[in-house]
Amino acid sequence: MSDMNITQVLAQMRSMSIEAGNKPSEIQKTDQPDFASLLKQSIDTVNDAQSTSNKMATAFETGESDASLAEVMISMQKASVSFQAMVQVRNKLVDAYKDVMNMPM
């Protein structure tokens, strides 16, 4: 069984928080990907997190993996949180679409 190192998890969370807070000083149109590719990339990321979580859970349940219960639960929570965030993004996109469609011409 592998030991869960909480300091590594906290360091990863801090680095992700810093990355999320960084704003580019100068945005160039050529360097910026289009919306469709960003959306596809984030959907693929959520899908990867969910499939990894399912594989870890199955391996833990069958005893094929040396992952600890804490690691399995953390991966399941990461997948759940990322899916919930994706659902909220979808809801906001639908709301924005409805607002645009209801605008008078």
Looking at per-residue pLDDT, the higher value among 68 and 11 belongs to: 68
Query: Is pLDDT of 16 > 60?
Result: yes
pTM of the model: 0.63
Distance in angstroms between the alpha carbons of the first and the last residue of the chain: 64
Q: Which amino acid is at 15?
A: S
- Under the banding of pLDDT at 50, 70 and 90, the label for residue 26 is low
With tokens 């069958």, the residue in question is: 62
Count how many Cα atoms sit within 13 Å of the Cα of residue 57 in the half-sphere of its side chain. Answer: 12
* Separation CA 70–CA 72 (nearest Å): 5
The average pLDDT across 42-60 equals 93
pLDDT at position 1 is 38
